[in-house]
Amino acid sequence: MDNITAFPLCWPLGHTRTTGDKAWWPKAPTPGAARDELFLELERLGATDIILSTNAPATKGGTFYASYKEPKDSGVAVYFTWKGRPRVLACDRFEKIHMNIRAIALTVEQLRRIASRGVADFMDKVFTGFDALPPGSVDSPDNWWKVLGVNQDDGVKKIQAAYRQLLKKYHPDTGTEPSVSMLQKVKAAWEFYESIF
């Protein structure tokens, strides 16, 4: 989970994005309160290494900056370690980031309640579906250079510059060609490159 960022959003590979109109959840708390609720529920669950990833500028710990403005993409992904394995929960059903954070927090709370009723093995089975994919999950590990638009023998500086340029190009809020799927593909290619070099 070293390459997961709090900003911009690192949407988990293999997770389908919500399409169409976003729902409204008027009773959701403020972004800071929703974040605190989520972290508290995850800590009660026994999760560690928590990273809240959104398209709102924030610290790695998920604290939003004072200049917080709601981005176009309200998706939220929370990465964490539970029982020694990397896990991820993601939500983009609601139109505001704090609503999606709260939806995840309430889900974790309900999962904890299930576990407290003596069906902890159920928890293991449920969370198997939320395993975070390993870094570098691109169509083919050999394709990292194609995704980044470089040659395999290019230097680190050139490859890193290409990666940064593609991040700017495909970012859903500020990119010249916004694309969440391409942004994730670029990040996965970079993660694979970093893992082998």
Do residues 123 and 111 lie in contact, with contact meaning Cβ atoms separated by under 8 Å?
A: yes
pTM (predicted TM-score): 0.64
Report the 10 Å Cβ neighbour count for 61. Answer: 11
Phi and psi angles of residue 74, each rounded to the nearest 5 degrees, phi first = -90, 10
Picking from 106, 128, 150, the residue at the C-terminal end of a domain is 128
Do residues 64 and 32 lie in contact, with contact meaning Cβ atoms separated by under 8 Å?
A: yes
Pair (118, 87) in one structural domain = yes
| CA–CA distance, 113 with 180 (Å, rounded to integer) | 34
- Asked whether residue 35 is assigned to any structural domain, the reply reads yes
Pair (104, 169) in one structural domain = no
Do residues 50 and 78 lie in contact, with contact meaning Cβ atoms separated by under 8 Å?
A: yes
Pair (46, 110) in one structural domain = yes
Residue 58: DSSP 8-state: B
pLDDT (0 to 100) of residue 34: 92
Range of the domain at 182: 141-196
Domain count, the chain: 2
Pair (148, 124) in one structural domain = no
Picking from 128, 150, 166, the residue at the C-terminal end of a domain is 128
3-class SS of residue 53: strand
CATH number for the domain that contains residue 96:
3.30.160
Pair (172, 115) in one structural domain = no
What is the residue-level pLDDT of the chain in tens, covering all 197 positions? 667 878 788 888 767 788 777 887 767 788 889 999 999 999 999 999 999 999 888 776 668 887 778 888 899 999 999 888 888 899 999 989 999 999 999 999 998 888 777 666 666 666 665 555 544 444 454 477 788 888 877 788 888 899 889 988 888 778 888 887 788 888 888 877 776 65
